[in-house]
């Protein structure tokens, strides 16, 4: 897999007990797509759901979807961004690169773009990526070093100058829905 500097990787897995699917999109820091992969919807047999019980969802996300997506990518981003707590730790472990779970936050803006503020939750920070607007809630895997948090904030602040950081998740969802309809 080739490494792509100044790029962001977005990865999502969605579904239920009946069907799970996922997609990954790598963009440059302006939001232009560089690489895309998706999985076909996975429909587990009823017996598998019974045998795995409550662990089926995390097993499907991590072992069946996440690993397939990472294997399918031709490029490796500078930073992986996910939107699911179940993906955070396995994404970091499997990719070995910077990984963060990003969400909107209701907090008032921080001092400046790139500013980081710790929260009461371990491994969770507020990052002011864009000059305007609320900071993002950024959750990092355990054992993330302070310099990795700082590097992530710098990458996000640079990208936020020319793109909306969470918008690629909307594109991923639309692409997965489009592909699921079978329309050519």
Q: Residue 90 — pLDDT band, cuts 50, 70, 90? A: very high
Mean pLDDT, all residues of the chain:
89
Structure tokens, 86: 């179940």
Inter-residue contact 106 to 134 (CB < 8 Å): yes
| Predicted local distance difference test score (pLDDT) of residue 8 | 97
Can you give the pLDDT at residue 5? 77
Does this model's pTM top 0.75? My answer is: yes
pLDDT at 3 over 70: no
Burial code (b: 16+ CB inside 10 Å, e: under 16) for 24-61 equals bbbbbbebeebbbbbbeebebeeeeeeeeeeebbebbb
Q: Model confidence at 26, in pLDDT bands (50, 70, 90)?
A: very high
* Alpha-carbon span 151 to 177, nearest angstrom: 33
Neighbour count for residue 158 (Cβ, 10 Å): 14
Is the pLDDT at 16 greater than 70? The verdict is no
pLDDT at 14: 85
Tokens 């936020």, residue located: 160
User: At 18, is the pLDDT very low, low, confident or very high (cuts 50, 70, 90)?
Assistant: low
Q: Please give the pLDDT value at position 132.
A: 87
Contact 87, 61 (CB under 8 A): yes
The predicted structure's pLDDT at residue 53: 72
pLDDT per residue as tens digits for the range 28-68? 999 999 999 999 887 777 776 677 677 666 777 887 899 99
Q: Which two structure tokens, joined as six digits, stand for 106?
A: 């209701």
pLDDT of 64 reads: 82
Predicted confidence (pLDDT) at residue 97 exceeds the cutoff of 90: yes
Tens digit of each residue's pLDDT (9 = 90 or more) over 126-162? 999 998 889 999 999 999 999 999 999 999 999 999 9
Q: What is the mean pLDDT of residues 3-15?
A: 86
């Amino acid at each position: 897999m080739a490494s792509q500097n100044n790029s962001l990787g977005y990865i999502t897995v969605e579904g239920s007990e009946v069907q799970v699917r996922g997609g990954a999109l790598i963009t440059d820091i302006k939001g232009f797509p560089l690489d895309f992969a998706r999985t076909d919807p996975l429909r587990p047999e009823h017996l598998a759901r019974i045998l795995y019980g409550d662990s089926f969802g995390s097993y499907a996300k991590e072992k069946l979807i996440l690993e397939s997506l990472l294997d399918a990518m031709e490029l490796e981003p500078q930073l992986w961004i996910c939107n699911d707590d179940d993906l955070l730790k396995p994404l970091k472990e499997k990719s070995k690169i910077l990984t963060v779970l990003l969400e909107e936050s209701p907090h008032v803006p921080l001092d400046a773009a790139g500013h980081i503020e710790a929260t009461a939750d371990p491994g969770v920070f507020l990052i002011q990526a864009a000059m305007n607007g609320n900071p993002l809630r950024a959750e990092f895997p355990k054992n993330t070093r302070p310099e990795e948090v700082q590097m992530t904030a710098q990458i996000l602040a640079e990208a936020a100058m020319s793109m909306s950081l969470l918008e690629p998740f909307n594109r991923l969802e639309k692409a997965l829905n489009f592909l699921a309809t079978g329309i050519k």
